[in-house]
A = this chain, B = another copy of it.
Amino acid sequence: MLKVALLGAGRIGQVHARNIAAHAESALVAVADVQLEAAQKLAAEYGANVLSVEQALADPAIDAVLIATSTDTHADLIALATKAGKAVLCEKPVDLALERALACQKATAGDGQPIMIGFNRRFDPNFATLKRAFDAGEIGKGELLSVTSFDPAPPPVSYIKVSGGLFRDMMIHDFDIVCWIFGSVPSRVMAVGSALVDPAIGAAGDVDTAVVTLSWDDGRIAVIKNSRRAAYGYDQRMELLGAEGLLAAKNVLENTVEKTTRAGHVSAKPEHFFLERYAKAYEAEWSSFVNTVLRGDALPVTLQDGINALALADAATLSAETGKPVILKGTAFEVAG
């Protein structure tokens, strides 16, 4: 039985709390949050204790921590936790600053604790089915990958301003997905972005609509499309052209009911946002973490994966700003030419 402390009792922390409690091999024993009331409410719901972060990390009965605090605390908490001998599952991103993420990697290098980054989409049953089919050779060699990822509506501009920008805040998921599908990091990034949804987003120096083309030295190409607004909800699809066919993962719909009238044939919209769309993914993510800690399964998402996605986000930001391609080597990058 894995005894877990949850750091962060916000919206996503609550999702994790439910999964930790529901899993047959894990127990939610402690909750910490700077907003004490939130911690108390969540702890009460699951019969857990309210602790400070320090108390949780000092408690030898706690095996693992799930970090769902604000982004700027992630890197420090990861390091503190591994120093304290806890296994770590940390929400994405590692940090908004690549250098801090790299520093975290260095700081935790010898601690011998598993550090998993919460790129939940890898655990979506649909994307995972696509990945398995691809890895099994069902469409031959991969050539051209397309990811569509639209949010239902933009966040407030106040959030945008501290978000790190679309590439670091939103597209970081998609950067991770393309690296995961193709099994390696691209070497070239070309980004185009516009503020079409809300001029205030543009005024804040960010974009809300973007296309990034990634390419690998062996010629493979990936395209990511992001928009902060799809009027119909959360649009989460991917498709991969291979030498012998195409694999596509379509949206998960709210229901299977179809209505045909004079007005046409109407079917359901996609699940509205990430809490619904990725409910099963969060469950599978937690289950995978438990297997890693209890059984020594390979880490399904590493700290390096989190760093790679961040480097790509930085590179895309630079490309969009300069209007030029950016070349990556490892996590270093520069404008081409």
**Segment from A67-75, A175-183, A207-215, A307-315 that makes contact with B:** A207-215
Q: Is the CB–CB distance between A241 and B246 below 8 Å?
A: no
Residues on B with C-beta less than 8 A from A148 are 146
**A325 adjacent to chain B (CB < 8 Å):** yes
Given known contacts A194-B215, A220-B196, A336-B324, A262 and B245 CB-to-CB distance under 8 angstroms = yes
**A35 adjacent to chain B (CB < 8 Å):** no
- A222 CB, nearest partner CB in chain B, Å: 9
Residues on B with C-beta less than 8 A from A220 are 194, 196
Interface string of A99-135 (1 = CB under 8 A from B): 0000000000000000000000000011001100100
Interface string of A202-227 (1 = CB under 8 A from B): 00000001110101000111010101
Copies of this protein in the complex? 4
Q: Is the CB–CB distance between A225 and B146 below 8 Å?
A: yes
Chain A 236-295 interface residues, beta-carbon cutoff 8 Å to B: 241, 243-253, 255-270
Q: Is the CB–CB distance between B249 and A232 below 8 Å?
A: no
17 contacts between A and B (CB under 8 A): A126-B256, A139-B261, A143-B194, A146-B146, A190-B213, A194-B221, A195-B219, A211-B213, A231-B245, A232-B260, A244-B262, A245-B261, A251-B256, A260-B270, A264-B269, A267-B267, A325-B325
